[in-house]
Chains A and B, each alone.
Chain A
Amino acid sequence: MHKDSDTALLEDCKNGDRKALDSLVRRYERPVYNAAFRMLGNPDEAADVTQTVFLKAFENLDRFDPKYRFFSWIYRIAVNESINQFNRNKRAEPLADNEASSEPGPERAVESGLINEELQAALMALHEDHRAVIVLRHFTGYSYRQIGEILDIPEKTVKSRLFSARQKMRDRLERRGVFSA
């Protein structure tokens, strides 16, 4: 995951090199944005979180231990910021259980775009801890070990959360008629 070049770019950043900063941001901004988007389901909030993630990372650059990998640090901030934002949203506006409403039949479920919406809704219905492992696995492509490193949890916990999250998503999508039981 660019470990060596990340380290070199970080060193350049510490010396005030804004080109290095630009390169490092370009490398991670899109996956961080996509992870935040899938965690929050809202593009504006994902953009805010992405900006905050990089700001916090570079504000605390002197606290970054180079024996760890930059990507795990920045994704950990991204996940935490996304969860914080999600919780703020929950406090501001409790989520309605939209599963009971607008039951789609299988015919509706196969309409273009609806599956994507249903998948995102199923993702949002998960507990944040479960959503985080799904997002990191499917939208950043990290291995179990790397996800454990990012979230600072044992690999065994990554697996159990991932398996459980998938089962819950699958069950919901079957109830919604997106997948056949």
Chain B
Amino acid sequence: MIDERTIELIHGGLDGELDSDGAAELEWRLERSEEARRYHDRMAELSDAMEGLSLQELPDSLHRDIVQGIELPGARPGARRSAGSFFGRLPVLARYGLPAAAAVLIAVGMYEFRPAPGDGQEYSNMSGTVMPAPREGGPPLMDSHSFELDSLSGAIRLVERDDGLTLEVSLDAGAQGAVLLEMVGEYVRFDKLESLQGDPGLVEVAERAIRVQGVGHQRFEVRLYRDAADHNMDSVIGLSISSDGKLLNSGELVID
């Protein structure tokens, strides 16, 4: 039976917590007890194995997500960039709820399509998903959704650039007040925020969803890619625009 003092010294020695007197006492005790030496060796083997466990690398976007989610004192009023409850819950939502949420978003609302700035396409009075031809001098447009409601307008364009799919988002809330644009991917994953103009109150990009909340003019791009395992399924982005909890507009973009 090893006494408590010896056990304390053994662990203290392994953890670098002993002063010279403690180290000398441990050595003396180990010399006198085979059982203590065996216990020491067992704990040392475990300790070495634990130290051998590799440190995990931080996920790519985590630093950005953390920093963007924090509001500091002195920041512009209303310019909250919060990871908030929505973003914090997204991984769970992404696993269980987002496909269902996308289906709801897609099913709700009538679409009004208007040409996005510079499109060169005529989409007036069309409803549903459109698949215009590639623009000259620009990346091929796969799909788009535009809306204009009183003092709120915006355009979401899905383009295929040489380096991959990109979602170009332009939103002008004007005097509308705070609006919420939510995009939910089904068989598509959002990668990262590529560029950001204006100062939106909040832009959150998670694997399966994007959420933009704020006022004024905002323009940003998000890289995305289809789920490789689901290439036989349509990749769809459901989107909704709301203000004060009221749905103003909704639609979908389909990746061909």
A contact set with B: CB distance below 8 Å: 13-18, 21-22, 25-26, 29-30, 33-34, 37-38, 43-48, 50-52, 54-55, 58-59, 61-62, 115-116, 119-120, 134, 137-139, 143-144, 159, 162-163, 166, 169-170, 173, 179
Contact A55 B69 (CB under 8 A): yes
Please choose the segment from B42-50, B126-134, B175-183, B194-202 that sits at the chain A interface, where 4 or more of its residues have CB less than 8 A away: B42-50
Q: What residues of A have a CB within 8 angstroms of the CB of B51 in the complex?
A: 138
Binding site for A on B (CB under 8 A): 7-8, 11-12, 15, 17, 42-43, 45-47, 49-51, 53-56, 58-59, 62-63, 65-67, 69-75, 82-84, 87-88, 91
Complex Cα distance, B58 from A43, in Å, reads 9
Chain A residue contacts of B91, Cβ below 8 A: 44-45, 47-48
- A110 CB, nearest partner CB in chain B, Å: 12
Do B56 and A34 have beta carbons less than 8 Å apart? yes
Task: Report the Cα distance A50→B42, complex, angstroms.
Answer: 33
Is there contact, CB below 8 Å, between B62 and A33?
yes
Name the residue on B nearest A163 (C-beta): B11
Q: Which of A17, A44, A143 has the most CB of B within 10 A?
A: A44
**A166, B43: Cβ atoms closer than 8 Å:** yes
Residue from the list A29, A51, A159, A173 in contact with B46, Cβ < 8 A:
A173
Residue in B closest to A179 when the chains form the complex, CB atoms: B45
* B interface SS class: helix
- Given the interface pairs A30-B58, A51-B88, the reply to whether A143 lies near B50 with Cβ below 8 Å is no
Q: Which residues of A contact B74 (CB under 8 A)?
A: 15-16
Given contact pairs A21-B72, A144-B17, A159-B8, A179 touches B42 in the complex (Cβ within 8 A): yes
Q: List 20 A-B contacts (CB under 8 A).
A: A15-B74, A16-B73, A18-B67, A18-B72, A21-B70, A34-B56, A47-B59, A47-B62, A47-B91, A48-B91, A51-B83, A51-B87, A55-B66, A134-B50, A143-B15, A144-B15, A144-B17, A159-B11, A169-B46, A170-B46
Neighbour of B72 across the interface among A16, A46, A115, A163, CB < 8 A: A16
**A58 to B71 CA separation, bound complex (whole angstroms):** 8
Minimum Cβ distance to chain A for residue B98 (Å): 14
Q: Across the A-B interface, how many residue pairs have beta carbons closer than 8 Å?
A: 113
Interface of A is mostly: helix
In the complex, what distance in Å separates the CA atom of A50 from the CA atom of B65?
10
Q: What residues of B have a CB within 8 angstroms of the CB of A13 in the complex? A: 72-73
Q: How far is the CB of A146 from chain B (nearest CB, A)?
A: 11
Q: Is the CB of A15 within 8 A of B11?
A: no
**In the bound complex, do residue B56 and residue A55 qualify as a contact, i.e. CB atoms below 8 Å apart?**
no
A55 contacts across to B, CB distance below 8 A: 66, 69-70, 82-84, 88
Q: Bound state CA distance, A116 and B49, in angstroms?
A: 8
Q: Are B17 and A143 in contact (CB under 8 A)?
A: yes
- Contact (Cβ within 8 A) A16 B75: yes
Give the complex CA separation of A33 and B56 in angstroms: 8
Please name all residues of chain A whose beta carbon is closer than 8 Å to the beta carbon of B88 when the two chains form the complex.
Answer: 48, 51-52, 55
Closest to A42 in B: B91
Q: Which 8 A-B pairs have the closest CB atoms?
A: A16-B74, A138-B50, A58-B70, A54-B66, A16-B72, A170-B46, A55-B83, A37-B56
